[in-house]
């Protein structure tokens, strides 16, 4: 999940952390963010839907790009069975170490390597499926991931790429101006906050056929879950540090979201765009 390069001006803490996860000041934040997201039922539901879309069969060989803590690679390993295999690829050596340690006993068909998704150290036409999830949004040249996926897939092999389109974020608040100010800033903290809508074009440009687009809604209810999903508190603090000429407007908005006396808990959503294709 880590990617080298300059951090854009105004990058939110989590966006910066995922670009360089191995730094001590980022590592715990990245691990906590991954683990907390899996506590959301809608997050787990979209993960399961992505695996169904890959149509994996026993004996298939699969690569999971940006494999993080290995949750998805382990699930894929169980689906393809002992005659299949899944390799997780991540630039973060520390995440790879954790993922290796978390592979259940008896699941010998799951492995992890430290490597770049834009320069895969995998053989040409060696895989039946490739998956990447919330990786491209952090990269300077996201199209190269699709190009590499096309290179390593066998003819007929399938790809599944998932990215949020951060412009689809919703938060239940009557203050539309403040909500737009937050969502625009959060979206722009990523290298490619709008990349979800670009996935079909990227897949076609890489040479994939039968390209299809679908979407899944991740939902967080209650301030703690919303804050975890969108790091609202930290992003507001970052914006307010530079606020001119009226600092405090987003702080008031934030206070309204976390108000324990509110009749209805705050709810937030973000749409995950899934593109699938065939080599």
CATH number of the domain that residue 65 is part of: 3.40.50.150
Token pair, residue 51, equals: 């695996």
In a domain, 46, yes or no: yes
The answer to whether residue 76 sits within a structural domain is yes
The 8-class DSSP code of residue 218 comes to E
Domain region containing 122: 13-278
Let me know: does 188 contact 167? Beta carbons within 8 Å: no
Mapping DSSP to helix (H, G, I), strand (E, B) and coil, where does residue 277 land?
Answer: strand
Within a domain: 189: yes
Let me know if residue 152 belongs to a domain.
yes
Provide the whole-model pTM.
0.89
Q: Which region, left, alpha or beta, applies to residue 222 given φ > 0 means left and ψ of -120 to 50 means alpha?
A: left
* Number of residues written out for the chain: 279
Q: Are residues 204 and 143 in contact, defined by beta-carbon separation less than 8 angstroms? A: no
* Domains: count for the chain: 1
Are 172 and 60 in contact by the 8 Å Cβ rule? The answer is no
Residue-by-residue pLDDT tens, the chain, 279 positions: 433 333 334 455 677 777 777 776 778 888 888 888 899 999 999 999 999 999 999 999 999 999 999 999 999 999 999 999 999 999 999 999 999 999 999 899 999 999 999 999 999 999 999 999 999 999 999 999 999 999 999 999 999 999 999 999 999 999 999 999 999 999 998 999 999 999 999 999 999 999 999 999 999 999 999 998 899 998 998 888 876 655 568 999 999 999 888 888 999 999 999 999 999
| CA distances from residue 44 to 47, 49, 77 in whole angstroms, order as listed | 5, 9, 17
C-alpha distance from residue 257 to each of 29, 45, 108 (Å): 23, 26, 46
> Would 197 be classed as within a structural domain?
yes
Q: Is residue 136 part of a domain?
A: yes
- Would residue 243 count as lying in a domain? yes
Q: Decide if 6 is inside a domain.
A: no
């Amino acid at each position: 999940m880590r990617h080298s390069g300059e951090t854009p001006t105004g990058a939110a803490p989590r966006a910066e952390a995922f670009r360089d996860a191995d730094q001590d000041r980022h590592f715990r934040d990245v691990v906590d963010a991954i683990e907390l997201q899996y506590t959301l039922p809608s997050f787990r539901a979209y993960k399961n839907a992505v695996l169904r879309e890959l149509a994996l069969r026993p004996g298939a060989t699969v690569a999971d790009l940006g494999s993080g803590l290995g949750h998805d690679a382990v699930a894929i390993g169980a689906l393809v069975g002992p005659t299949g295999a899944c390799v997780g690829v991540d630039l973060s050596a520390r995440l790879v170490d954790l993922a290796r340690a978390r592979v259940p006993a008896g699941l010998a068909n799951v492995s992890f390597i430290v490597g770049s998704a834009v320069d895969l150290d995998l053989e040409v036409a060696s895989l039946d499926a490739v998956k990447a999830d919330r990786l491209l949004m952090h990269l300077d040249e996201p199209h190269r991931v699709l190009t590499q996926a096309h290179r390593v897939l066998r003819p007929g092999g399938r790809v599944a790429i998932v990215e949020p389109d951060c412009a689809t974020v919703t938060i239940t608040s009557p203050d539309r101006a403040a909500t737009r100010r937050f969502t625009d800033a959060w979206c722009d903290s990523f290298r490619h906050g709008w990349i979800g809508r670009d996935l079909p074009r990227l897949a076609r440009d890489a040479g994939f056929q039968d390209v299809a687009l679908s979407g899944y809604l991740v939902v967080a209810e209650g301030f703690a879950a919303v804050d975890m999903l969108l790091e609202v508190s930290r992003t507001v603090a970052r914006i307010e540090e530079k606020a001119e000429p009226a600092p405090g407007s987003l702080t008031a908005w934030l206070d309204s979201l976390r108000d324990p006396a509110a009749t209805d808990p705050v709810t937030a959503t973000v749409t995950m765009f899934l593109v699938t294709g065939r080599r």
